[in-house]
Chain A
Amino acid sequence: MSLRTILATAAAKAVLAACHLTGRPGSSLPGRAALKVDPQIIASLAAQVRRGIIVTCGTNGKTTTNNLLCDMLEAQGFRVVSNRLGANMMEGVAAALATAASPLATRPPGYRSAPASGGPLGYLDADFACLEVDEASAARVLQYLKPDYMIITGLFRDQLDRYGEIDLTMKALEKAIALAPDMTLVINGDDPLTAFLAQKSGHRFVAFGVSEQTTPEVDFPPAEAVSTPVSTPNSSDEIREGRFCENCGAPLHYDFYHFSQLGVYRCPSCGFKRPAIAYDAARVTMTPQLSFDVLEEDSAPIRISAPMTGFYNVYNILAVYGVLRELDLPTESINEVLRNYKPQFGRGELFYLGRNREQKVLLNLAKNPTGFGQNIAAMLQDRSPKDLIIAINDNAQDGRDISWLWDVDFERLADETVLSITVSGLRALDMQLRLKYAEIASTSAKTVEEAIERRLADGCGNLYVLVNYTALYEAHKYLEGTAK
């Protein structure tokens, strides 16, 4: 262990302590400090991870997938280092590793390989590293750290101004994948973009997916067209990336879609097709909770149940299941882990507020059209009356371009169970305008706190809060504070 690494971990810890003192999560800043002191910090700490490094990429579902995987591994007694809070750029990865290392501790028991310098400082005591990595940062991170597995949850439109286009996201990931030739990819086979990336890379890959058409409850019927007749006012209007073959440009043929561009597809022209699915979900039901069978060749199906909503969680769970199977680890505990799963920071986080805990508040991150569409569908499956708050910011982390709001099918909110809609955030006006053109009335509040406060005072006791990235912190802080 070099002196630099030791100093870097010490610096990270000091910054983390300072962050905690000032009430910040400290998920990135300590990493920035550590990288300043030792640019190789990620490499030297990652090299100490004993059993495996698993990186999760994909525009939607990274945090849930990564955290579930951590929970599963920890439940089996492994020590896991991870960026659970979802800080997934270079600094976040460095912060996760550096703050987990022990600058002053003695050599932990069970440590196999002796470090280069032979000293007791700067050890990272971890069996596994589970890291979610932002697609645009992946090529930088993977210069320092060579994962054994990379999960790709799927690729949807996301924060377009940062990436340019989905094509650029693909190029960035392609570059990252090439940096770790021995890595196995665990991919969403229902997504043609991801499948193409995996097939093209030449890496070993296994796919998960849903091969049977799911019940109509997944694909929510759109609200009555609120306008003069249009040619195709149905749910296939949804924006889809990659309906054209990545390989040859011909339109893909779909047997059916699940949502967005996910489904069972093949190219009639060049033969590109959905890969063989190693971990396949069947008999998916969404109520009262998410439940499905996992089918696998040569083994009996197991039934998985999770206290979650949202069809997309099938993919998140399948990804975790797939990695465990690839690692040859037991999967029996998955239902128990799912039962105890604590959604991280606004990924379907539930709060009970009020004197008698009679106010139910569900906080959900929705930062791109696919995420929003899925969240709205999940919300409308709850047929009881509800109030809705939507907060949209356009800070750098959110993406400055919010034109994607117009790709979300907000027309669905013209539903009798949605009693009121309150908008907030830096781009509240844009959101309100979007709703106006769906002919849906809304009120606005200056801050998301104010919005929540009002609806707690006069709402129906069933509140949904949909927010994008930076608005999530404000909303979470307020709800957590109120819940105490």
Chain B
Amino acid sequence: MNETSLNISIREVTKKYDQFYALKDVSLEIKSGEFMTLLGPSGSGKTTLLMVLAGFTNPDYGSVKFGDEEVILKPPHLRGIGMVFQNYALFPHMTVEQNVGYPQKLRGVSTAETKRSVEEALSTVKLEGLGHRGINELSGGQRQRVALARAIVFKPKILLMDEPLSALDKKLREEMQIELRQLHDTLNMTTVYVTHDQKEALTMSDRITVINDGELMQLGTPNEIYEHPNNHFIADFIGESSLLPVAVRNGKASLNGEEITLAEKTKKSGDFLLVVRPEKAFLADKKVKGSNYFVGNLIDSIFQGESQLLVVELNSGDDDGREVRVRVPNESVTQKALPLVGENVTIGLKVADSYVVS
């Protein structure tokens, strides 16, 4: 264990409201110094879990340890965590300096040391010289930075963030994602970050915990979560996948009655969903071995700047028209004419990319 961070050990944390589980038997190890994102749709329980860590919500039972110390019975003000709230929760009656200096004042830090640490924290978040401003004179992005400076000024070993970037516009949000990640790498405190934005989670995290309906769905690196979702909820939630029903009988997989080859050969018999990522699928001129092919009708072609998104309706035996999305590079880059809406197209998907989820 190093000095600037602590590991977090969550065991069997359960919180029930009437008949509804906000958290159901959640167990999770967060490594010291790790950037862990809790990802899930709204109402999934991710914020509840963060509030349990902060001490604002008491679970029905369960254990939360910071390092070796059990904290679940401790009130929030004794947990020594830094926290950034969704709406920043700055103190409007104090200046920037007073906001950032607040935790230092509570800790009885000397005036000189408080001044020094406030300046350091403000410079870490690139707000040097704004100390005397009132909170109402700041832009949304600046408030975000003040909230961050206030949470790190006393060098907590654990930093909790509750959707801190959701109120910012897209461009600023993307800049801040990278900045927050760099900040984490500099300060090296254990960070637990809550978001519903899968792209944000993939960009920033060391590991991601996907939560849905109060249950832990999958825990892994961004790469693992994206490339190998372990169920259809995650396959659907992360990325813009198309999910196609696949039947496996006696070791042979078929889609719309046509046999296909899967990346994993050992699937048991049953019904599964084939995950087709738009960027993994491609337009095929001719069929070559090593890929699966689907024929369909191009029903929409959407220009998206650097790429073109094609929406293809597969020709299926039953009238159940399945859509597949295919992302192809922009025409001017490839110098190849794209098919027109209404034309029949053949889509390829490499066997290595053909995986199914249940």
Q: Does B bind A?
A: no
